[in-house]
Structure 1
Amino acid sequence: MTQATPKDAPTVLLVDDEVALADSLALWLERQYNVRVAYSGREALQAFDGDVDVVFLDRNLPGLSGESVLNELHRQAESDAFAVIMLSAMPDSELSDLPADDTLTKPVTKTQLFDAVARFVGNTPEATVD
């Protein structure tokens, strides 16, 4: 039986064109957070609003790139009360020029995912979830 996510839980937006990866990350996170998933840059911009606390954003999206989405999120945001964590197969040093709050290198572990969210929303990482 799946436990319902509390309504006041932080909201996470996952953006990745790799559907299986995005859906897997969402399954992990939805046990503790409200999760939205977007499979393209345009979907990400539609799914983003003031309720989003953390965005996991793939850098290499087809069409509208992750970098373009990142810049547009910051332009559209009413405040900077959200964090953006870039997901990339490249080393962190390749992403240092982007205005992101953090980066994770794929493949991402469950612990890395929860630790990253916890750094920005203040929740205790869910290290015991299988």
Structure 2
Amino acid sequence: MTQQPTPDAPTVLLVDDEAALADSLALWLERRYRVRVAYSGREALQTFDESVDLVFLDHNLPGLSGESVLEELSRRVDPSSFAVVMLSAAPGDELADLPVDAVLTKPVTKRDVFDAADRFVGDAPEAKLD
């Protein structure tokens, strides 16, 4: 039987224009967390609400950049109410000044993703078998 997250599991929003990466991250996380996926900055803004606990956000999104998404989200809700892990193919000094909780360099590993999720939203309750 498929495991599902408990109703009180943290909500994670994955934002990346690379659909294969976003979908892979979702598959990894969906057994322990409630997961939402957005493939663009604009979609991320539509998908985000106050129930989101953690955002994995691609820095280099086409159109509305990850940095712009972060600024808009911070205007909408208290930035301390959710954590942000920036995903970047080429981390540099420009990321050091961003108000994010962590930066992961692509390609990310399953361990990187779970370590970040556990660090910022705690260990999710283990999903129970149906």
Does TM, scored on the shorter chain, surpass 0.5? yes
The 5-angstrom pairing of residues 44-59 of structure 1 reads 44-59=44-59
Q: Aligned residue pairs: how many?
A: 125
TM-score (normalizing by structure 1): 0.91
Report how far residue 94 of structure 1 moved.
4.0
Which contiguous aligned blocks of 4+ residues in structure 1 show a shift greater than 3 angstroms? none
Deviation at 1:2, TM superposition (A): 1.3
Residue 91 of structure 1 and its aligned partner are, at CA, apart by: 2.6
Structure 1 unaligned runs (5+)? Answer: none
Larger deviation, residues 74-83 vs 39-48: 74-83
Equivalent-residue separation in structure 2 for 1:112 and 1:79 (angstroms): 23
Change (3 A) 1:79 1:69: closer
Measured in 2, the distance between the counterparts of 1:64 and 1:33 equals: 26
Give the match for residue 80 of structure 1: 80
Change in CA separation of 1:119 and 1:75 when aligned onto 2, cut-off 3 Å: same
Cα deviation for residue 14 of structure 1 reads 0.1
Provide the TM-score with structure 2 as the length reference. 0.91
CA distance in 2, matches of 1:26, 1:41: 17
Q: Where do 1:1-130 residues align within 5 Å?
A: 1-78=1-78, 80-91=80-91, 93-123=93-123
Give the residue type in structure 1 aligned to 2:70.
L
Instruction: Give the share of equivalent positions with the same residue, in percent.
Output: 72
Query: Are the equivalent residues in 2 in contact too, given 1:14–1:35 (CA < 8 A)?
Result: yes
Tell me, what secondary structure is at the counterpart of 1:42? helix
RMSD (Å), alpha carbons = 1.5
Structure with higher RCO (Cα < 8 A, 6+ apart): 2
Q: Call closer, same or farther: CA 1:79–1:65 in 2, change over 3 Å.
A: closer
Q: What is the letter of the counterpart of residue 104 of structure 2?
A: L
What are structure 2's unaligned runs of at least 5 residues? none
Amino acid at match of 2:68: S
Q: Distance in 2 between matches of 1:51 and 1:111?
A: 25
The alpha-carbon deviation at position 52 of structure 1 amounts to 0.3
**1:97 CA displacement:** 1.4
